[in-house]
């Protein structure tokens, strides 16, 4: 055989191995779930269709809620985050040529931490490898079987050899385009979706951030975001047309456009440099209900997508995994099905609140092509109200740092 379960050889002949939970996908959701289960003594195997290097090459978000940080600490993967992550006690809204600070610490007593998703993934991968937990990279032709019965299994090909993983449950943590949700009959789920008529053109550059906290700009030329990954690596975005061609955006044009969307002092302080990554991300809201189908559970982007404006995607995946890990731990420890029966409803209650917040903040800060002059004035009035009301700022801050779970 080409792989083993935490050092154990195959338990069944014919290329078949048994585990308690098969996890599809080695992104943050799958890795975090795997470690939470591993720490509770539950066997779990992660199957990933890409290579380790490919997974670690993906550039993703980096604003972590306190709840996500606590989960990383709980599995022993928080050391580098605390050493290198950037705690933020607030962020700024820019409109009308002025910056308005949202003081998260004063308003909620909590903060967020800037730490790249790639680094979080690396920490979890390294921890999993050090503990001898099984991850199969480059698992091809993954297929899910019989999850509507009592004996689910997953088949796949590794190095040209067909194999089967027998399990009690399957956790689909393989993202929006993964096989897990696609394996569910369309008649068994309801899809809620909203597309947005614009995207985010993002650039990553090894230059110091223009501000020590994030700036969300909603000026006349459209939305922009000034973010960072570290004290020497910055991430910037500008709103662009949904069908924009990235070839039309050389670095110089991007930096010029970004300056036009910032206040004069910030534009003057902006340090530019060659991009090391550039991409255009479409914006959409998406929810698939329910998040459980027999012995298959969906978590993270496999079940829901949010616009990145509210920094909720990665954090929602973490809360899903929290609920699911507790449910599975209760099932295997107490033989209680209460947690797994409640998983979908409990996760979706938090998902929809995050969907609402992400939609609201996106609507507040972006220009929509169909907006009338009246609509633009209403948008500005809401921003003015927000900046002048502690109650309104507190509601924004409460959602931004993350609702409890």
Domain spans, the chain: 16-87+115-192+285-359, 89-111+197-282+369-401
For 208, residues 6+ apart whose C-beta sits below 8 A from its C-beta are: 231, 232, 234, 271
Write the Ramachandran bin of 196: left for phi over 0, alpha for psi from -120 to 50, otherwise beta: beta
Q: Residue 6 has what pLDDT?
A: 40
Q: Residue 13 has what pLDDT?
A: 35
Which structure tokens are listed for 226?
Answer: 């000034």
Which entry of 216, 236, 237, 343 is annotated as an active-site residue? Answer: 216
Peptide bond into 290 cis (omega under 30): yes
Q: Residue 25 has what pLDDT?
A: 98
Which entry of 312, 322, 346, 366 is annotated as an active-site residue? Answer: 312
Mean pLDDT for 128-147 is: 97
Report the range of poorest mean pLDDT among 56-60, 146-150, 176-180, 371-375: 56-60
Residue of 2 and 23 predicted with greater confidence: 23
Q: Residue 9 has what pLDDT?
A: 37
Task: Answer yes or no: same fold for 16-87+115-192+285-359 and 89-111+197-282+369-401.
Answer: no
pLDDT in tens, 340-359: 999 999 999 999 999 999 99
Strand 44-47 relative to strand 21-24, pairing: parallel
Which entry of 236, 237, 343, 400 is annotated as an active-site residue? Answer: 400
Which entry of 308, 323, 343, 366 is annotated as an active-site residue? Answer: 308
CA 211/CA 91 separation, integer angstroms: 10
* DSSP string computed for 157-203: EETTEEEEEE-SEEEE-S-TTSHHHHTS-GGG-EEEEEEEEEEEEEE
| 216 part of the active site | yes
For 273, residues 6+ apart whose C-beta sits below 8 A from its C-beta are: 205, 206, 207
* DSSP string computed for 76-96: T--HHHHHH-EEESEEEEEET
pLDDT in tens, 63-105: 999 999 999 999 999 999 999 999 999 999 999 999 999 999 9
The CATH topology of domain 16-87+115-192+285-359 is FAD/NAD(P)-binding domain (3.50.50)
| 140 part of the active site | no
Mean pLDDT for 238-265 is: 97
pLDDT in tens, 154-166: 999 999 999 999 9
Which entry of 38, 88, 158, 322 is annotated as an active-site residue? Answer: 88
Q: Residue 14 has what pLDDT?
A: 45
| 404 part of the active site | no
| 88 part of the active site | yes
Which structure tokens are listed for 14?
Answer: 């014919």
CATH number, domain 89-111+197-282+369-401: 3.30.9.10
Instruction: Name the H helices within 41-150.
Output: 52-57, 66-74, 79-84, 104-108, 117-130
| 177 part of the active site | no
pLDDT in tens, 282-292: 999 999 999 99
């Amino acid at each position: 055989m080409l792989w083993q379960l935490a050092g154990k050889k195959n338990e069944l002949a014919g290329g078949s191995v048994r585990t308690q939970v098969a996890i599809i996908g080695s992104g943050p959701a799958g890795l975090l779930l795997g470690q939470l289960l591993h720490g509770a003594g539950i066997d779990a195997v992660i199957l990933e269709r890409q290579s380790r290097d490919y997974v670690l090459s993906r550039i993703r978000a980096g604003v972590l809620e306190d709840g996500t940080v606590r989960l990383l600490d709980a599995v022993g993967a928080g050391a580098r985050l605390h050493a290198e992550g950037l705690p933020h006690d607030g962020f700024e809204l820019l409109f009308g040529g002025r910056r308005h600070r949202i003081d998260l610490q004063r308003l909620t007593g909590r903060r967020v931490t800037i730490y790249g998703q790639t680094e979080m993934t690396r920490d979890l991968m390294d921890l999993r490898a050090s503990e001898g937990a099984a991850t199969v990279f480059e698992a091809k032709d993954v297929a899910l079987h019989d999850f509507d019965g009592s004996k689910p299994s997953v088949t796949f090909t590794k190095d040209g050899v067909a194999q089967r993983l027998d399990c009690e449950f399957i956790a689909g943590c393989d993202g929006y385009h993964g096989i897990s949700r696609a394996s569910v009959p369309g008649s068994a789920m309801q899809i809620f979706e909203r597309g947005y008529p614009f995207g985010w053109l993002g650039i990553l550059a090894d230059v110091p951030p223009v501000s020590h906290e994030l700036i969300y700009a909603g000026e006349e030329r459209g939305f922009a975001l000034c973010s960072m990954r570290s004290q020497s690596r910055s991430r910037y975005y500008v709103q662009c047309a949904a069908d924009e061609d990235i070839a039309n955006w050389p670095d110089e044009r991007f930096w010029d456009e970004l300056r036009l969307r910032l206040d004069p002092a910030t534009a003057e302080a902006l340090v530019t440099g060659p991009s090391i990554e550039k991409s255009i991300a479409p914006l959409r809201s998406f929810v698939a209900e329910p998040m459980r189908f027999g012995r298959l559970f969906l978590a993270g982007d496999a079940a829901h997508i949010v616009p990145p404006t509210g920094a909720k995607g990665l954090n929602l995946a973490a809360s899903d995994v929290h609920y699911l890990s507790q449910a599975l731990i209760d099932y295997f420890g107490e033989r209680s099905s209460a947690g797994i029966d409640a998983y979908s409803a409990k996760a979706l209650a938090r998902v929809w609140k995050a969907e609402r917040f992400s939609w609201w903040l996106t609507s507040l800060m972006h220009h929509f092509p169909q907006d009338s002059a009246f609509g633009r004035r209403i948008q500005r009035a809401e921003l003015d109200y927000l900046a002048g009301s502690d109650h309104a700022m507190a509601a924004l801050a409460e959602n931004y740092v993350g609702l409890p779970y």
